[in-house]
Amino acid sequence: MGGSLKDNARLLADVARRDQKAFRLIYDTYGKKVYTYALQLLHSEIEAEEMVQDVFLKLWLMGDRILEIENLESYLRTTTKHRSLNVLRRLVLEGRIEKALGKEWREENTEIEDEILIQDVREILSRAVDSLPKQQKEVYILCQQRGLKYEEAAQQLNLSPLTVQTHVKRALRSVRAFVKANTDIAAILIILKLL
């Protein structure tokens, strides 16, 4: 399950060279495991899905440091565990502590650089969505971010499913173009289903 250590080492070397196929293979092999483990810890499907995206985005952003990983499955499990515990800690604390200390408060985190990179990526994505025409934006948010089917979004917005589909296609094209112009990891966001 999950390929031999030698195969994984080769895949990681490919990912260090920015090979998207290798990354896709790792994501397809381990994404479900990371999700299941995160779900056990976080008891929230949304948080677990975000955890999968964050863990794999971090992997992509590691560059040559990825070559130091000896056992990929164990690395992904440990990263998922640490990040999930941080999320749980944040969920428990944020109500009280953020109010007391204001927005300056940041959880101490040894992986703060990665967090900032991931935040930057989400920020670019958010700006891309904000730049869409009103109806495309509404449809994109409902279908791409909230996971509604075209029919459900059509009902909610009083449009035909075909119109919704057209808006989604146009919105995706615009968002991808915006992200590509602003970052070099558009393809990875597509693999992680963020785009």
CA of residue 47 relative to chain centroid, distance = 11
Predicted local distance difference test score (pLDDT) of residue 92: 60
3-state secondary structure of 133: coil
In which band, very low, low, confident or very high, does the pLDDT at 84 lie, cut at 50, 70 and 90?
confident
Q: Could you tell me the domains of the chain?
A: 5-104 (1.10.1740.10), 112-191 (1.10.10.10)
- Average the pLDDT over 12-27 and give the result: 93
Q: How far apart are CA 71 and CA 114, in angstroms?
A: 20
pTM over 0.75: no
Least confident range from 1-15, 102-116, 172-186: namely 102-116
The reported pLDDT for the residue numbered 3 is: 59
> Distance between CA 39 and CA 42 in Å, rounded?
5
Calpha distance 187→193 (Å, rounded): 10
pLDDT confidence tier of residue 172, bands split at 50, 70 and 90: confident
Arithmetic mean of pLDDT over the chain: 81
Q: How far apart are CA 22 and CA 190, in angstroms?
A: 14
Token code pair at residue 107:
């959880």
The reported pLDDT for the residue numbered 154 is 95
Q: What percent of the chain has pLDDT over 70?
A: 77
